[in-house]
Amino acid sequence: MKLHHFAILFVTLGVGVYLLNNNASSNVLGAKVVGNESREICWHGTQSAEAYQVYYGQADTGTKDSSIFNGLDNRSKCVTISYLKPCTTYMWNLLRKDDAKWSWQWESDQRFTTGGACETIQPVVVNTIVGNGRATVNWNVVDGASKYFVFYKEAGRTNWAYSADVPPQATTYTINYLSPNQAYVYRVAAVVDNELVWQAENNLVVY
């Protein structure tokens, strides 16, 4: 008995195993082993399509840094991506080749969230008493935030000190025990779906 329409090929590429349907083969660029979760992604094929390329990456980075390409022809409809980070939102899109020209399948990237246990976010560095100065920080509201973390550091330093976590309705916080003669910078991170969404770094005004 011959299997005509649905051959399944496992391809091991050093960094992961991908299950490709419909006689597809693949190469992967920049793929990373960051977990043991997997996700099948599918699309509606077109008769005019000559080939496909799948690009994906973690949504919080804003970059699709991994790809599956070469061999995804017009019969390809699905691919399973393995070794993904658990409890993480990914974005992906499809390049489609028509008449020797490549174009994105969708104007906006598609998204999915992997299963598995979420990592608990818990800053461990606390602020220290170095003076009697203080500064008030402000930030913009982030949709879906369950709370915010406020971090600060002396200007020019590498490591951030953790100051506080504040409720989602707050947009301001006062940091105490700062040195009046020291320049500081601060940064606020919103917790959205148990992941940190960072806002821009700003200068602290100590008074």
Is the residue at 70 inside a domain? yes
- CA dist 168 and 166 (Å) reads 7
Residues 107 and 13 in one domain: yes
Residues 19 and 109 in one domain: yes
- CA dist 103 and 30 (Å) reads 21
Residues 103 and 139 in one domain: no
- CA dist 57 and 159 (Å) reads 27
Which range among 48-52, 70-74, 140-144, 176-180 shows the weakest confidence by mean pLDDT?
Answer: 70-74
Residues 160 and 107 in one domain: no
Residues 63 and 102 in one domain: yes
Domains of the chain: total: 2
Q: Are strands 145-154 and 184-192 parallel, antiparallel or unpaired?
A: antiparallel
Residues 137 and 109 in one domain: no
Asked whether the beta carbons of 92 and 79 are under 8 A apart, the reply is no
Could you tell me the residue range of the domain that residue 198 belongs to?
133-204
Whether the predicted pLDDT of 91 surpasses 90:
yes
CATH of residue 20's domain is 2.60.40.10
Residues across the chain: 207
Owner of token pair 């008769």: 47
Mean pLDDT of 16-31: 36
Residues 82 and 26 in one domain: yes
Residues 139 and 92 in one domain: no
Asked whether the beta carbons of 68 and 79 are under 8 A apart, the reply is yes
Helix, strand, coil fractions of the chain, as percent rounded to 5:
0, 50, 45
The full DSSP string for 79-93 is EEEEEEPTT-EEEEE
Asked whether the beta carbons of 79 and 17 are under 8 A apart, the reply is no
Q: What percent of the chain has pLDDT over 70?
A: 77
Whether the predicted pLDDT of 28 surpasses 50:
no
pLDDT score recorded for residue 35: 67
Is the residue at 179 inside a domain? yes
pLDDT score recorded for residue 22: 34
Higher pLDDT among residues 71 and 198, named by residue: 198
For residues 161-178, one letter each, b for 16 or more C-beta atoms within 10 angstroms of the residue's C-beta and e for the rest, the string is: bbbbbbeeeeeebebeeb
Residues 93 and 158 in one domain: no
- CA dist 73 and 51 (Å) reads 4
Cβ atoms within 10 A of the Cβ of 154, count?
Answer: 15
